[in-house]
Chain A
Amino acid sequence: MEYPFFHVSFAPNVKLVSTVRRFTAEFYERVLVDQEVSEKVALATHELLENAVAYSVDGETGVRIEVVEDLLTIKTWNRATPDRVQALKAVIDQMNEEKDADKYYQNMLEKTAYRTDGSGLGLARIRAEADMRISYAIETDRVCIEATTSLNRPLHGRKGAQ
């Protein structure tokens, strides 16, 4: 059985991230017939893509969103410096050690409130606000971040969306 997905890759460009977010929201609202889930997917896609674009060291970043059975997964990838790769691993490992996503998010808000550098909130926000699990796969300098959530109800309009 085929499931709805899309996959796009592009030269890193922050202006395109909002374009992809809007497309994602519309695509998954049509596929899932669930505005709440589609907005969460759009939020997570935006945050992941902005990270991928910001830290990409070569000419390509990409996103793939797929639904298999009742699991929706967003994957973004890019190539990054070794320092960035290590930092990202540490952030995700530390975040996943705290099982309470909302508690971790509120702690991050407190920590970031007086910081002047990057927000560091994106992944915590995805986990808490979009109810998604975050994981990573790293091959040398290629970073793939995955955000996954369970769908509460079966897909609708699957054929029409492909």
Chain B
Amino acid sequence: MTIEVPKLSGSVISADATSEESIVRARFSGTADLEAKDDLQLFVSKLHPESVRISAKEVIVDFRELEFMNSSCFKIFVNWLAQVRDLDASKQYKILILSNPTQHLWQRRSLAALACFAVDLVKIEST
């Protein structure tokens, strides 16, 4: 099974998702601000059930090209993590977030907060 999430090509944000076996890769680039919020919400709202459908073991979230994320968009990811956290353990998947805090300093504190929110599910990897 492969994941089926329409590519997001918004005016300020882009995202796509692919899968290989039980690993999903979701890449985000641009700016996650109010202008991007609705598009991002739609994308993430499809990413989660698709990941469950294909019995993903891990979703790799690549934020390395994401310049900024506001609190409204941050909340979308908090909502997502809460949904994963609420799944039966057998259906949960891990989330590995790839970050570039050297270039985008906001990622250091914001992603650490996300990891604290779902400490057993989220890992942060910096490049």
- Cβ of A50 under 8 Å from chain B: yes
**Size class of the contact patch on chain A:** 20 to 34
| Stretch of B15-23, B52-60, B68-76, B90-98 that contacts chain A | B68-76
Q: How far is the CA of A158 from the CA of B33 in the complex (A)?
A: 31
- Cβ of A47 under 8 Å from chain B: yes
**Size class of the contact patch on chain B:** 20 to 34
Q: A50 near B116 (CB under 8 angstroms)?
A: no
Q: B75 near A121 (CB under 8 angstroms)?
A: yes
Question: Chain A residue with minimal CB distance to B80?
Answer: A113
- Cβ of B126 under 8 Å from chain A: no
Main SS at interface, chain B:
helix
Q: How far is the CA of A130 from the CA of B71 in the complex (A)?
A: 13
Q: B71 near A121 (CB under 8 angstroms)?
A: yes
Q: A106 near B116 (CB under 8 angstroms)?
A: yes
- Cβ of A68 under 8 Å from chain B: no
Q: A113 near B34 (CB under 8 angstroms)?
A: no
Q: Which residues of the partner chain A approach B105 to less than 8 Å between Cβ atoms?
A: 35-36, 39-40
Q: A39 near B106 (CB under 8 angstroms)?
A: yes
Within 8 A of B (CB), among A31-78: 35-36, 39-40, 43, 46-47, 50, 54
